């Protein structure tokens, strides 16, 4: 049964971004290139960030997770800014931000799914692996998409000097909380943080509304 739960958890994590992308494209007709660009951009960004993280001292786990949070906050939100500002300049519709966010979340979700599949036959899987990964799939996608909207809004409205550091800080905070606090506490913290980021992203989304965007 444990191995079956590993398979289910892995499959859920891997296919969730694809399902989101299909549904989003079907609903909005948005362009798909930002999702592919995000997926490809994540490879070098995470490799470089991982190499830097390997040099962190793990003796003080609180300091380690704070450093890790700051590192990935800077790298992940930074590459989003660079992509929107320089690489995807013609993809200037707010829908493109969501598409990019789905592609970015796919990289992380696929990695999480593969980690679940690698536990098959090891007997190391937690009993709640399936339920936990259903939540991680949803939370991760919402977290990444919401932060992507904040970064995109900064570029869209020429407010990146404020929005980019805010997105980096919120990302770092969420990342660090996962590692520093025990599960019940980190769950509550991240749930509150997720609600706040989602609300902020919704406000930015509304401000970017273009009455003619469906004609673009």
In a domain, 113, yes or no: yes
Residue 215 pLDDT > 70? no
Give how many domains the chain has, as a whole number: 1
| Beta carbons within 8 Å of 41's beta carbon, 6+ residues apart | 79, 83, 87, 104
Tens-digit pLDDT profile for residues 113-139: 999 999 998 888 888 899 999 999 999
First to last CA, the chain: 50
Segments forming the whole domain that contains residue 137: 2-208
CB half-sphere exposure, 81, CA atoms < 13 A: 22
User: Can you tell me whether residue 90 is helix, strand or coil?
Assistant: coil
Q: Is residue 200 part of a domain?
A: yes
Q: What is the pTM of this model?
A: 0.94
Q: Is residue 64 part of a domain?
A: yes
Dist CA 160 CA 97 (whole Å)? 14
Flag whether 214 is in a domain. no
For residue 20, being part of any structural domain is answered with yes
Please tell me the distance from the alpha carbon of residue 168 to that of residue 161, in angstroms, as a whole number: 12
CA distance 131 to 128: 5
pLDDT, tens only, 71-125 = 999 999 999 999 999 999 999 999 999 999 999 999 999 999 999 999 998 888 8
The dihedral built from the CA positions of residue 16, 22, 26 and 32, taken in this order, carries a sign that is: positive
d(CA 30, CA 152): 16
């Amino acid at each position: 049964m444990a191995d079956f739960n590993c398979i289910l958890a892995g499959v859920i994590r891997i296919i969730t971004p694809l399902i989101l992308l299909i549904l989003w494209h079907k609903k909005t007709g948005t362009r798909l290139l930002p999702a592919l660009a995000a997926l490809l951009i994540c490879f070098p960004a995470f490799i470089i960030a991982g190499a830097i993280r390997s040099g962190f001292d793990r003796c003080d786990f609180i300091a380690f997770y704070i450093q890790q949070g700051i590192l990935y906050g800077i790298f992940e939100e930074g590459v989003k800014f660079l992509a929107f500002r320089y690489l995807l300049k013609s993809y200037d519709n707010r829908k493109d931000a969501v598409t990019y966010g789905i592609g970015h979340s796919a990289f992380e979700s696929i990695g999480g799914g593969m980690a679940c599949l690698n536990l098959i036959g090891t007997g190391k899987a937690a009993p709640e692996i399936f339920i936990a990964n259903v939540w991680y799939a949803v939370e991760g996608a919402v977290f990444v998409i919401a932060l992507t909207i904040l970064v995109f809004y900064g570029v869209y409205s020429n407010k990146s000097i404020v929005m980019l550091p805010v997105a980096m800080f919120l990302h770092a905070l969420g990342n660090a909380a996962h590692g520093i606090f025990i599960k019940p506490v980190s769950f509550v913290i991240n749930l509150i943080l997720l609600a706040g980021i989602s609300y902020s992203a919704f406000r930015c989304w509304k401000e970017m509304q273009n009455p003619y965007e469906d004609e673009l």
